[in-house]
Structure 1
Amino acid sequence: MQKPVASEKAESGTIVETTIPSRLDRLPFGRFHVLVIAALGITWILDGLEVTLVGAIAGALKESPALRFTNTDVGITNSAYLAGAVLGGLFFGWLTDRLGRKKLFFITLTTYMIATIATSFSWNLLSFSLFRFFTGAGIGGEYTAVNSTIQELVPARYRGWTDLSINGSFWLGAALGALGSVVLLNSALIPSDMGWRLTFLIGGGLSAFIFLLRLWIPESPRWLITHGLAEKAEKIIGDIEARFHRENHFLNDGEIKTTRLKTRTHTPLWEVATSILKTHRERAIVGFALMTAQAYFYNAIFFTYALVLSSFYGVRTDKIGWYLLPFAAGNFLGPLILGRLFDIWGRRPMLIMTYSVSGVLLAVTGYLFAANLVSYSTLTIAWVIVFFFGSAASSSAYLTVSESFPLEVRAFAISLFYAVGTGVGGVIGPAFLAHLIDTGSRDSVFIGYLIGTVLMLSAAVIAWLKAAAAEGKPLEQVARPLSLADE
């Protein structure tokens, strides 16, 4: 078996002949990948927990003697969380490409843990919004560090289904948040001003467990080899292969190919910008369209779902969690069931299908709501159907962005499109729709939903015209590494 040829010194310009990318892609799907998914994919569970908790406790925040938020205040705090995710994603994404995947997914998790615990001690709108901002920064950073690590460790033939399933696990966190809110917001069990504070401690406790779970996750061998750390990369891939041999898996040496790379200590920002905005301009357009559409679609609707239930249907705060559970189930099952088709049918057909179907169903549901033709129960059923497809669409946006750009800029690309998409579609959306709900007009809320429909259908058209066929291809084939040495 070929070994990488390089010194352990991280010096720019050293030519490395490596088989590591090919050896990672030839692996069967095994226990190692399950553990990676469990330790890293739990990020989406945390995000789902955060989003659901704040959605479910919206009424409690309005009734809290210490806070007494209005619907607009709730929208502002949601936007503060998303603004933190935008800026945190950009900052931590840049660091992830420079310092490595493993260092950053510990830093971002710690940021989240401290901030979410601090939120439980909030005393007014400013403090609550500030702590939510830093909670979002931790989650935004997690997206970049974790997505890039998973992409670089999972074999190409399983990348689509794995990525969508992991992103769909957001809704396991949503279900956990919904169940937690049902208990913690029950004033018969817990004082009303204490229940919403305790909900944030769920995320803090869970993140401490995740910290321990991640200790054994290795650094990405692909990142190490491009940064001149060939011996470390070889040891990691050797340990991974030894694990598969112990589990009686057959590894075909005939599938191994050699890649020649020129090592670098870092990638200058001008080269990052050139790669994303010039060399891969069409992919950048696709990424921006997909991320913006799904950010508005999800954040504007889900963040304000509890407000719709309480404002238009009079659903009690401590009962809202029960209506979030079926909503979460549909969202989780969508990527899990449809995800395999992204590897079988292909990226472009599935992007077109999921974005267009969810956009049309959103418009239909919005019309039924505006015409007062649905009860709170049937509205929930409608949202389950809409987001079965919408969740797969949203998850596929992260898949598309994370595999469309070279390894050297992958984390920053994820953070950039997450930041721009969330900034345009996510930060504005919740505050805007909360304001529409405050008007008390169903027709006004319907207009907010129609904006989501237009964005989703526009993204489907752009995917049809420009999306790349990345299914089953190694990452190095989908996007040529900047460090690839010419033959």
Structure 2
Amino acid sequence: MTPLTPAAQARTVTTDVPARLDRLPWSRWHRTIVVGLGTVWILDGLEVTTVGNIASRLSEDGSGLDITSAQVTGIAAALYVAGACAGALFFGRLTDRYGRKRLFMVTLAVYLAATALTALSFSPWWFFGCRFLTGFGIGGEYAAINSAIDELVPAAYRGRVDLVVNGSYWLGAVGGSLLSVVMLDTGLFPKDVGWRLAFALGVVLGLAVLLVRRNVPESPRWQFLHGHEDKARDLVADVERKVEEEKGEPLAPPAGEITVEQRKSIGFGLIARTVFRDHTRRAVLSLSLFVGQAFLYNAITFGFGAVLTTFFDVPAGHTGYYFAVIAAGNFLGPLLLGKLFDTVGRRVMISATHLLSGALLFGTAWLFDRGGLTATTMTACWCAVLFFASAGASSAYLTVSEIFPMETRAMAIAFFYAIGTAAGGISGPLVFADLTGSGVVGDTALAFRLGAALMCAAGLVAAVCAVRAEGRSLEDVARPLSETGSAEPTRDGDRAGGA
């Protein structure tokens, strides 16, 4: 991680690399990028769901750990969240300074090591420490991966790809739910072995991702800004050659160049001024989207098991099946709606998915309060809510990764992710734990209404503040801080066709 020399920092270069990347058609090379980088959300979903489902087993005699279920879902979960927030901020800064590739390899290695050590836990303090480190690696992944994907994917496909990648979290959740059913079967595995194997399988999946990810390149956008313009041009030229061979026709000429002054890094002061002073509306939008989706998801998923067992007499060992159905609905939302974010547009789709999910959750709360639902119809209602909510939640990551300047991108993702994660993982449980666990129908309905109200509020903010980024180059959506030779951007930083 050798920093640039002062001479390199002062160089001014003109490049067409962004335009060349954005005009590429979809190809095998892009699919490799998505597989190599996007599978981290599957790991996250697998981790969170597995731990939630094995909590009761860990607290049983003979599990190999002297720990209670409340400690697993309380202390361990809080430490995982704290680790994710800290990791996002720590690695987000390093990602902007030292590059996407270096950091998405480091963060995955941290995740793998921590998960492997979790499987070897012999005491509560070891388990808690490993949960923090696992979250630390996952949080760093979010900043490094979102910035890399958006900088490598063509502008015309950026919305749908980002949504599907972020929504793949729920594929991991499906896997975690079904995996826990198998691993907790004492007819197959002893009490002190099954839960360890669940974590070990996460390590195996992570190692497979690591092998694929080795072939994912550094972001050319980051390279030309940090004194490696020759590497950026060579990389893009190689991709263009592969795409032309695959498509059997020459590519269209790139549309435009930008001139930038190369820098080693951007200080925290400039990052803060850029995000909160020059892009105030965008900062408000980002906070609204992350907090809204965090509270909606906590209103449903934090107490879903308690709701099913308390109000519908579903056996505790069967709640994993219901959650697998809910998780599948979560993935279908981004998968089926993602293309519309590139065609209909960001503003319409972001606001619509938030408002629709909030309205459907209000309806679910009303039916539940009246006693008009069964376990099956409640699950169906949750699926309908989360079909739209998942697309809306994924759009929060898409929004933050494209509406701030390139030099601040990973740090902005890290900051707003940390705020949303803290809201969901700390404030959310404090608000919803008593409501969903009280056994009173009215209290649980109130939890649903609170989540729905915040999601609708975020949708209204998006209707006013969302940026029309569909089909536009990242450099057009948010001018790089290092760009020279053009007029200074107005406060809140849009060029023509901005917010």
TM-score normalised by the chain length of structure 1: 0.94
Would you say the 8 A contact 2:303–2:437 is kept in 1?
no
Corresponding residue number in structure 1 for 2:494: none
Bigger shift: residues 409-418 or 372-381: 372-381
Pair 1:343–1:303, CA change in 2 (3 A): same
For residue 11 of structure 1, report the CA deviation from its aligned partner: 1.4
Other structure's SS at 1:260 match? strand
**Superposed CA offset, 1:248-269 (max 9, x none):** 3434343332211111011111
> How many percent identity over aligned positions?
45
Corresponding residue number in structure 1 for 2:144: 145
For residue 187 of structure 1, report the CA deviation from its aligned partner: 2.0
Distance in 1, Cα, partners of 2:420 & 2:372: 33
Corresponding residue number in structure 1 for 2:174: 175
Distance in 2, Cα, partners of 1:10 & 1:358: 52
Instruction: State whether structure 2 residue 12 is matched by structure 1 residue 15.
Output: yes
Counterpart AA for 2:31 = V
Would you say the 8 A contact 2:298–2:451 is kept in 1?
no
**Superposed CA offset, 1:287-328 (max 9, x none):** 000011112222453243234334444434442222122112
Bigger shift: residues 193-202 or 42-51: 193-202
Distance in 1, Cα, partners of 2:312 & 2:61: 21
Number of residue pairs aligned between Structure 1 and Structure 2: 481
For residue 235 of structure 1, report the CA deviation from its aligned partner: 1.6
Counterpart AA for 1:49 = L
Would you say the 8 A contact 1:73–1:125 is kept in 2?
no
Corresponding residue number in structure 1 for 2:46: 49
For residue 15 of structure 1, report the CA deviation from its aligned partner: 0.9
Over the residues paired in the alignment, what is the CA RMSD in angstroms? 2.1
Corresponding residue number in structure 1 for 2:280: 281
Distance in 1, Cα, partners of 2:293 & 2:275: 21
For residue 55 of structure 1, report the CA deviation from its aligned partner: 2.7
**Superposed CA offset, 1:33-72 (max 9, x none):** 1110011000111111112212322332443553452447
Other structure's SS at 1:426 match? helix
Corresponding residue number in structure 1 for 2:491: none
Distance in 1, Cα, partners of 2:191 & 2:371: 32
For residue 355 of structure 1, report the CA deviation from its aligned partner: 0.4
Other structure's SS at 2:439 match? coil
**Superposed CA offset, 1:73-130 (max 9, x none):** 5133222212211111011101100010000001110111111222223345543332
Distance in 2, Cα, partners of 1:191 & 1:312: 31
Distance in 2, Cα, partners of 1:286 & 1:405: 12
Q: Which runs of 5+ in 2 are unaligned?
A: 487-499
Corresponding residue number in structure 2 for 1:38: 35
Corresponding residue number in structure 2 for 1:4: none
TM-score normalised by the chain length of structure 2: 0.91
Other structure's SS at 2:247 match? coil
Corresponding residue number in structure 2 for 1:454: 453
Corresponding residue number in structure 2 for 1:250: 249
Corresponding residue number in structure 1 for 2:405: 406
1:117-128 superposed matches below 5 A = 117-128=116-127
Corresponding residue number in structure 2 for 1:442: 441
**Superposed CA offset, 1:224-251 (max 9, x none):** 1011111111121111112112213434
Corresponding residue number in structure 1 for 2:492: none
**Superposed CA offset, 1:370-406 (max 9, x none):** 4443222222111111110111010011001110101
Bigger shift: residues 64-73 or 393-402: 64-73
Distance in 2, Cα, partners of 1:122 & 1:449: 36
Counterpart AA for 1:434 = A
1:110-121 superposed matches below 5 A = 110-121=109-120
Corresponding residue number in structure 2 for 1:96: 95
Q: Which runs of 5+ in 1 are unaligned?
A: 1-6
Would you say the 8 A contact 1:60–1:317 is kept in 2?
no
Instruction: State whether structure 2 residue 164 is matched by structure 1 residue 185.
Output: no
Other structure's SS at 1:17 match? strand
Pair 1:54–1:363, CA change in 2 (3 A): farther
Bigger shift: residues 203-212 or 190-199: 190-199
Corresponding residue number in structure 2 for 1:389: 388
Other structure's SS at 1:247 match? helix
**Superposed CA offset, 1:430-454 (max 9, x none):** 3543343443333222222222112
Distance in 1, Cα, partners of 2:384 & 2:23: 37
- Identify which of structures 1 and 2 has the higher relative contact order when contacts are C-alpha pairs closer than 8 Å and 6+ apart: 1
Other structure's SS at 1:420 match? helix
For residue 408 of structure 1, report the CA deviation from its aligned partner: 0.4
Corresponding residue number in structure 2 for 1:195: 194
Bigger shift: residues 375-384 or 296-305: 296-305
Would you say the 8 A contact 1:10–1:227 is kept in 2?
no
For residue 425 of structure 1, report the CA deviation from its aligned partner: 3.0
Other structure's SS at 2:13 match? strand
Bigger shift: residues 244-253 or 398-407: 244-253
